[in-house]
């Protein structure tokens, strides 16, 4: 398998799907002539032309609506949000139209649209450009929410998202675009709602997604030096959630820490903890702990940003607390 970057894996997914299906197109700010703000769409305009790789004005509400309308009549748009912070401006279209029209039309309309781009924090982007909005979209019936953590997952999940007939929120991470990983040369798909065990273990379950998977993996490596075997679980799709994979792991380890970049109040981590409590309560030997960002706007200063975000040290300390060490 070739080792490629996360951005290259996403680029391959879009190129392959555009080649396979002429109804697939990409639209967003700077996706064409500039090759994307983070170069995820590098070379796509040159290959497919300006009619299928469409640069837009800075008007998220407008081009989200255009994309939804085109999906209703048979096209399969990929709408790039330069950052998911900007999707806030398009929430009326995403929530009231993309998420609801298939249901409200009694299935007469399919809405095969993917909204993709980076979410969460990067490096010193301050409060308005560092928000993890996963829980917002998970709260909306009709939306699928996917968030990959590796190049392999990114490519296989994005190809699946593009082929699905429902609206998909596909949240990447700006700080992961340069991460490298092995990706098969042959075609593969990763099903919606199927998670992955990133690391096996028997003593404690660490549930994490997006770039928090890498924080959890580092924490697991530190815990291993103290003879603690942590199992790292990546849901990959946040909605629908692979709850059986999580429950099975907790039933084996009897302890759990959930790690998320989002805010603590009403977060995805709270939902996962609630489901574990409902489905595997008798297997728990300790309370479920959650490691999240602090409940405040993101500071600009790098030292303060690090204090706000989940860290390897915070995860290790939470794990030891659950293990009564």
The pLDDT assigned to 1 comes to 86
Q: What is the pLDDT along the chain (325 residues), one digit of tens a residue?
A: 899 999 999 999 999 999 999 999 999 999 999 999 999 999 999 999 999 999 999 999 999 999 999 999 999 999 999 999 999 999 999 999 999 999 999 999 999 999 999 999 988 999 999 999 999 999 999 999 999 999 999 999 999 999 999 999 999 999 999 999 999 999 999 999 999 999 999 999 999 999 999 999 999 999 999 999 999 999 999 999 999 999 999 999 999 999 999 999 999 999 999 999 999 999 999 999 999 999 999 999 999 999 999 999 999 999 999 999 7
Q: Which is catalytic among the residues 129, 243, 261, 271?
A: 129
Tokens, residue 134:
């996963």
Residue-wise burial string across 41-54, b where 16 or more C-beta atoms lie within 10 A, e elsewhere: beebbeebeeebbb
**209-213-217 Cα angle (round to 5):** 155
306, with CB counted inside 10 A (0-12, 13-18, 19+), is exposed
pTM, full prediction: 0.96
Q: Which is catalytic among the residues 29, 60, 174, 305?
A: 60
> Do 240 and 291 meet the contact criterion of CB atoms below 8 Å apart?
no
The pLDDT assigned to 104 comes to 97
d(CA 203, CA 207): 13
Residue 214 catalytic?
no
The pLDDT assigned to 18 comes to 98
CATH numbers and ranges of domains, the chain? 2-183 (3.40.50.970), 196-322 (3.40.50.920)
d(CA 262, CA 231): 21
The pLDDT assigned to 325 comes to 76
d(CA 263, CA 82): 22
Residue 302 catalytic?
no
The pLDDT assigned to 106 comes to 97
């Amino acid at each position: 398998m070739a080792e490629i970057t996360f951005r290259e894996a996403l680029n391959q997914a879009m190129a392959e799907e555009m080649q396979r299906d002429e109804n697939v197109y990409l639209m967003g700010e700077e996706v064409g002539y500039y090759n994307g703000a983070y170069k995820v769409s590098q070379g796509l305009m040159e290959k497919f032309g300006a009619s299928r790789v469409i640069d837009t004005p800075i008007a998220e509400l407008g081009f989200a609506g255009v994309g939804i309308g085109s999906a209703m009549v048979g096209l399969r748009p990929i709408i790039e949000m330069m950052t998911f912070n900007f999707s806030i401006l398009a929430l009326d279209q995403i929530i009231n139209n993309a998420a609801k029209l298939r249901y409200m039309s009694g299935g007469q309309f399919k809405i095969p649209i993917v909204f993709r781009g980076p979410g969460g924090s990067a490096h010193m982007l301050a409060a308005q450009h560092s928000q993890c909005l996963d829980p917002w979209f998970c709260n909306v019936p009709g939306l699928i929410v996917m968030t990959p953590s590796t190049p392999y997952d990114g490519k296989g999940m994005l190809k699946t998202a593009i082929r699905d007939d429902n609206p998909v929120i596909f949240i990447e991470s700006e700080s992961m675009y340069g991460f490298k990983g092995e990706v098969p040369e042959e075609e593969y798909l990763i099903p919606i709602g199927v998670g992955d065990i990133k690391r096996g273990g028997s003593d404690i379950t660490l549930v994490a997604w997006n770039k928090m998977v890498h924080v959890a993996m580092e924490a697991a490596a530190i815990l291993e030096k103290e003879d603690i075997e942590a199992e790292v679980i990546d849901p990959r799709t946040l909605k629908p959630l692979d709850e059986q994979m999580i429950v099975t792991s907790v039933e084996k380890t009897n302890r759990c820490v959930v790690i998320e970049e989002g805010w603590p109040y009403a977060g995805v981590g709270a939902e996962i903890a609630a489901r574990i409590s409902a489905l595997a309560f008798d297997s728990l030997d300790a309370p479920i702990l959650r490691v999240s960002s602090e409940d405040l706007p993101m500071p600009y200063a790098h030292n303060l940003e690090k204090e706000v975000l989940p860290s390897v040290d915070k995860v290790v300390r939470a794990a030891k607390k659950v293990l009564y060490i």
